[in-house]
Amino acid sequence: RKYFVTLLVVDQRPSGIDNEVMSQIGTRITCLLNDDKDIEAIFTGVSGGQSLRSVLAKLDSKQQALILGHAVPMPVVVKTRAYDQQFYQEIGELDWQQKSDQEVFLAAQLAREDIGF
């Protein structure tokens, strides 16, 4: 946190993540899980974990995720975005080599301000 570094731990089988690592994860994002060990791993140490199991079981298998932990005031189900052609058109892809030095420096300055530097 001191250096504004964030680590994202991603695994299709959360039960395979070491318990010490899991205990340090403040915010969890999970999609539908079917394996009881994986479900148990996600909710270990989470208050209200048993009631959240039913929420997890009802998630759409392709476009929903459950977010819980420090980043949200209460657990919330979100719809994930499709990675289709429209997605890539909307986010665009900047060719920084086509930009002037002034445009690049301005973008870098704005990015630094966004993270508090």
Q: Each residue of 22-70: pLDDT tens digit?
A: 988 999 999 999 999 999 999 988 888 889 999 999 999 889 999 999 9
Report pLDDT for 93: 67
Rounded CA separation 7/25 (Å): 9
Which domains can be identified in the chain, with CATH numbers? 14-114 (3.40.50.300)
Could you read off the pLDDT of 101-114 as tens digits, one per residue? 898 889 889 888 88
Write down the residue that tokens 């392709």 correspond to: 62
CA distances from 81 to 7, 35, 57, 64, 73 (A): 22, 25, 20, 9, 22
Report pLDDT for 7: 86
Could you read off the pLDDT of 79-100 as tens digits, one per residue? 998 888 788 777 776 677 788 8
106 phi and psi angles, rounded to 5 deg: -65, -45
Amino acid at 78: V
Report pLDDT for 116: 76
